[in-house]
Amino acid sequence: MAVSTLSDLLEAGVEGRKILVRCDLNVPLDGTTITDAGRITASLPTLNALLDAGAALVITAHLGRPGGKVDSEYSLAPVAEKLGDELGRYVQLAGDVVGSDARERANGLTDGDVLLVENVRFDPRETSKNEAERSEFAAELAKLVGEDGAFVSNGFGVVHRAQASVYDVAKVLPAYAGDLVQSEVDVLADLTGDPKRPYAVVLGGSKVSDKLAVIEALAPKVDTLVIGGGMCFTFLAAQGHSVGSSLLQEEMIDTCKDLLAKFGDVITLPVDVVAADSFSADAPHATVSAEAIPDGKMGLDIGPDSVAAFAEKLSAAKTVFWNGPMGVFEFEAFSAGTRGVAEAIITATKDGAFSVVGGGDSAAAVRTLGLGEENFSHISTGGGASLEYLEGKELPGVTALERGN
């Protein structure tokens, strides 16, 4: 990635300067309780490096989709508190984004201070399709750090969006890639370059349509493509099997038939599933053949024979990319498939494979199931960004850094 890096900025010196840092702090909440702080934790090395070097930080981030208006449900208040705990220092939260409170607080920052402005998506210009509106907002964000300021892009989970705090601000300030963004792109570049073989990809999640582009991009390049999760039922239907009341995208059946015809030699589907009476944590359930899911039953996880078959496919892999759970891992009764496949990836990693967990629900599953992030070679913080990179799409937040340097 031909951009200026955090190391370049630190070498130039940041003491006495204010640095605008875009982080991905879009964490899941249960009320005001953060249920998975992984994205906050991932942001810390870059933030600490800047603080240790004497910078004052103005951090921008979003939470959810408030629709361009102030909504207390999407306030970054819980994030500011957690970030302060993790950094071991007080994190101010401005009551607005670029308004009087943010400006006053930013003006008063001294070396080592941290200011988090409110949810950038409270301002409709952040996600506007109008470049002039985004540019105006970006200029106001840049003013928070002054003429001697700089911009560090450290939120990989948002670099696939041409939004003001990610893309347009890199036109206004000297722009640098944070360590998180740089490491993510370097890892994904390895996957699209010349990965060690056998190369295995594990895809799950709900919808085929969400993963269609990455399937089409990766299937010709991999040795094994394992498919589980809700999306597997559309493939099973494409093979002519009954899927009961399982999640099904009927409009994608013909597409799945085409994919199986083209790439059937690398695609592996479940042979059994855990089928339940309803979508609930305590629903009665049983393991059934993937070729004969009873009417009225819905598959909520892959079965033990599928886990064994998938594990065998993964055992020889030297490179593994995993995106998407195998079932509804949030419900204990339907978490065994995701856990089993994750443990197979861990075994492959211990045997020398390079393993990448492609962010999103997969990364959440690793933490929720207590599998240990250290057991994988790399855990991405950006599910959508990871997939778009592997699809070969341009990531606006990265190209903005390349263009600006």
Taking the C-alpha atoms of residue 277 and residue 267, their distance in angstroms, rounded to an integer, is 28
Angstrom CA distances, 348 to 202, 328, 335, 376, stand at 13, 24, 20, 9
Taking the C-alpha atoms of residue 158 and residue 163, their distance in angstroms, rounded to an integer, is 9
Catalytic residue (one of 143, 207, 367, 393): 207
Binding site for ATP, by residue number, is 211, 299, 330, 359-362
Question: Active site includes 403?
Answer: no
H/E stretch holding 398 reads helix 396-403
Longest distance between any two alpha carbons in the chain, whole Å: 67
Binding site for substrate, by residue number, is 24-26, 39, 62-65, 121, 161
CA dihedral 387→367→301→249, nearest 10 degrees, is -30
Question: Active site includes 105?
Answer: no
Contact status, residue 358 vs residue 384, Cβ threshold 8 Å: no
For residue 376, the one-letter residue type is: F
Structure tokens at 118: 């409110």
Question: Active site includes 360?
Answer: yes
Contact status, residue 338 vs residue 232, Cβ threshold 8 Å: no
Taking the C-alpha atoms of residue 61 and residue 167, their distance in angstroms, rounded to an integer, is 13
Catalytic residue (one of 360, 383, 397, 404): 360
Question: Active site includes 31?
Answer: no
Contact status, residue 55 vs residue 109, Cβ threshold 8 Å: no
Structure tokens at 329: 């891992």
Binding site, by residue number, is 24-26, 39, 62-65, 121, 161, 211, 299, 330, 359-362
Catalytic residue (one of 17, 18, 39, 125): 39
Catalytic residue (one of 68, 95, 146, 384): 384
Is 193 exposed, middle or buried, given 0-12, 13-18 or 19+ CB atoms closer than 10 A?
Answer: exposed
- What one-character DSSP code corresponds to residue 380? -
Is 383 exposed, middle or buried, given 0-12, 13-18 or 19+ CB atoms closer than 10 A?
Answer: buried
| Catalytic residue annotation | 39, 207, 360, 384
